[in-house]
Amino acid sequence: MRQRLAEIILNSLNDLKKKGVIPEKVEIPPIHFEIPKDRKLGDLATNIAFLLASIVKMPPKKLAEEIVHNIFLSHEDIEQVEVAGNGFINVFFKPLYWQKILVQIRENFASFCSPEIGKGKRVNVEFVSANPTGPLHVGHGRCAVIGDALARILQKVGYEVTKEYYINDAGRQMEILGKSVFIRYKQALGQEILFIEEGYQGDYIVDIAELIIIEKGDLYLSLSDEKVVPLFTKIAADSILEQIKKDLEKTRIKFDIWYSEKKLYETNAVEQTIQLLQKKEWIYEKADALWMKTTAVGDEKDRVVIRSSGEPTYYASDLAYHKDKFERKYDRIIDIWGADHHGYIDRIRAITRALDFDEDKLSILLVQLVRLLHGKKQVNMSTRKATFTPLNEVIEEVGVDAARFFFLLRRYDSHLDFDLDLAKKQSSENPVYYTQYAHARICSIYRELEKKSLTLPPPDTSLLQSIEEIEIIKKLSLFQQVLIEAAETFEPHRLTFYLIETATLFHKYYNLHRVISEDLNVSSARLYLVGVVKMILAEGLQILGITNPEKM
């Protein structure tokens, strides 16, 4: 439609050239249409007169009028074209146009919901990737839900999506985890030793220690750290990871790949990556340590890859990991991190530069931190000190639907306050119910129809003429575009807001017009419309991983 309109305007402009109103040599910029926010301003509007005004030295309004006067209007879908404001050209469609759109959406619903912009392209979304040193907290939950919803959206628009979790199951933090368990083990068996300051203090560590006692008793009590800690590390990591998987499953999140950092060491991938980078002179030696030249990509200093002690840093395995991800030949790689990792961006960018990977394929999304509140008091969220609130607890308290919807209710780069004291109240005020309610209400209309056992005539969409009905169709027609935009900008919240707005239009309509009435023809047409609303709501909620109840 936009294309055809652009042609009409272009024809008019060419005509004006012939008439000498505008100079022949003027180059006409692409004619762009947008949807005005006020419906009184028409269905589509273009600013072309503004763009041309300065070039042809005419007031925009005058130019717009010339353009409109020159339009030979014979298009069956267009009601009128008018000039408004200082020179906008507004186009109004006939109801017939929208009625046809409605039928198109319904008849081709599956393809309408699955624009194939990503067809044949593979994308990897890596998110959460929390260390298996403790349960997931609310902050992880936000990343988890956003990443998952984004993956679902990308899938919907045709991409082949891989959801990946990178498990940091190697390195110093894991050793501390093992030590923490060992100390709790000893303490539980009656030894009086102090807990280490950097240790993990959560109760779950005690639980793991007690489980070991139940299974093996005091078998390890007299053994040395070197012998026990690696074993305890593994037991703890496995157990915690198990819990993480359960929590994610409860949040309706399933990963395709669980990628182990430890494997990168076992297969020598880290070593090989470092050797390769050394050969390419991106890694050099200084003060007994190996350094990566991250300053070459704008970092403020070079970063250590191998410590002088010979121990690799996490950066070492991250290099190998991203090298591997690139070598798996995705068309797009998306990393979703907590915003506190932003200093890491340059470091990861360095590898794409060093190994000649296409930098544009990598997108790093920083999800802003969740600030946890107890009423007015801020709660510090530390895994080590165990002062966090587990995601698990929140999900149980407010439910998966409300929790997911809540996290998808704002842009990922906005800071989020999560007030635990209000969590329950928030859940009852959560717009998720408003949206689901619209769906349930429509289902209820169908039930009513069945109860009355009415047989309706085939729908005649030309009966859908009211402002509210046309407004709803307009909104429905945007669904595909919203999906595409959410996918292209990596912003799932756009879909959330769209669904709320659609629900709003429906609720208003519902209060104003009865769907099922004595006039069977009208009833049939309205049911047809409302049926599409239901389909769109169900589809949208499903994409966000939220249920669409038929009764509430």
Can residue 173 be called a binding residue for RNA (CB under 7 A)?
yes
Q: Which is nearer to RNA, 219 or 454 (CB)?
A: 454
Q: Which is nearer to RNA, 220 or 344 (CB)?
A: 344
Shortest reach from residue 191's CB to RNA, in Å: 27
For residue 123, the surrounding DSSP H or E stretch is: strand 122-126
When binding is defined by CB under 7 A, the residue of 94, 245, 410, 474 that contacts RNA is 410
The alpha carbon of 291 is separated from its chain's Cα centroid by a whole number of angstroms, namely 35
Can residue 433 be called a binding residue for RNA (CB under 7 A)?
yes
Q: Which of residues 107-136 bind RNA (CB under 7 A)?
A: 131
SS3 category, 548: coil
Strands (E), 249-320: 257-260, 283-286, 289-292, 303-306
CA distance 293 to 349: 11
When binding is defined by CB under 7 A, the residue of 10, 84, 117, 221 that contacts RNA is 84
Applying CB under 7 A, the span of 72-80, 155-163, 299-307, 531-539 interacting with RNA comes to 299-307
Can residue 456 be called a binding residue for RNA (CB under 7 A)?
no
Can residue 424 be called a binding residue for RNA (CB under 7 A)?
no
CA distance 432 to 397: 15
Shortest reach from residue 339's CB to RNA, in Å: 5
Can residue 411 be called a binding residue for RNA (CB under 7 A)?
yes
Q: Which of residues 56-75 bind RNA (CB under 7 A)?
A: 60
Can residue 180 be called a binding residue for RNA (CB under 7 A)?
no
Can residue 448 be called a binding residue for RNA (CB under 7 A)?
yes
Residue in the structure block whose two tokens are 């082949």: 160
What's the farthest any 2 CA atoms get from each other in the chain? 100
Q: Which is nearer to RNA, 53 or 113 (CB)?
A: 53
Q: Which of residues 337-356 bind RNA (CB under 7 A)?
A: 339-344
Shortest reach from residue 172's CB to RNA, in Å: 4
8 Å CB contact between 356 and 366: no
Can residue 455 be called a binding residue for RNA (CB under 7 A)?
no
CA distance 322 to 313: 15
Burial class (CB in 10 A: 0-12, 13-18, 19+), 388: buried
Can residue 416 be called a binding residue for RNA (CB under 7 A)?
yes
Q: Which is nearer to RNA, 19 or 172 (CB)?
A: 172
8 Å CB contact between 453 and 490: no
Can residue 453 be called a binding residue for RNA (CB under 7 A)?
no
For residue 94, the surrounding DSSP H or E stretch is: none
Can residue 413 be called a binding residue for RNA (CB under 7 A)?
yes
Can residue 3 be called a binding residue for RNA (CB under 7 A)?
no
Shortest reach from residue 403's CB to RNA, in Å: 14
Q: Which of residues 494-533 bind RNA (CB under 7 A)?
A: 494, 497, 500, 504, 507-508, 510-516
CA distance 494 to 512: 27
Q: With CB under 7 A, what is the number of residues at the site for RNA?
A: 91
When binding is defined by CB under 7 A, the residue of 94, 100, 307, 474 that contacts RNA is 307
Strand partners, 258: 165
Backbone φ and ψ of 487, nearest 5°: -70, -40
Shortest reach from residue 127's CB to RNA, in Å: 16
CA distance 64 to 76: 22
Applying CB under 7 A, the span of 211-219, 225-233, 262-270, 304-312 interacting with RNA comes to 304-312
CA distance 189 to 216: 12
CA distance 168 to 341: 15
Can residue 86 be called a binding residue for RNA (CB under 7 A)?
yes
CA distance 402 to 266: 42
Q: Which of residues 366-395 bind RNA (CB under 7 A)?
A: 366, 368-369, 371
Can residue 233 be called a binding residue for RNA (CB under 7 A)?
no
8 Å CB contact between 494 and 408: no
CA distance 533 to 506: 8
Shortest reach from residue 303's CB to RNA, in Å: 7
Burial class (CB in 10 A: 0-12, 13-18, 19+), 234: middle
Applying CB under 7 A, the span of 9-17, 67-75, 238-246, 280-288 interacting with RNA comes to 280-288
Shortest reach from residue 445's CB to RNA, in Å: 4
When binding is defined by CB under 7 A, the residue of 250, 386, 437, 477 that contacts RNA is 437
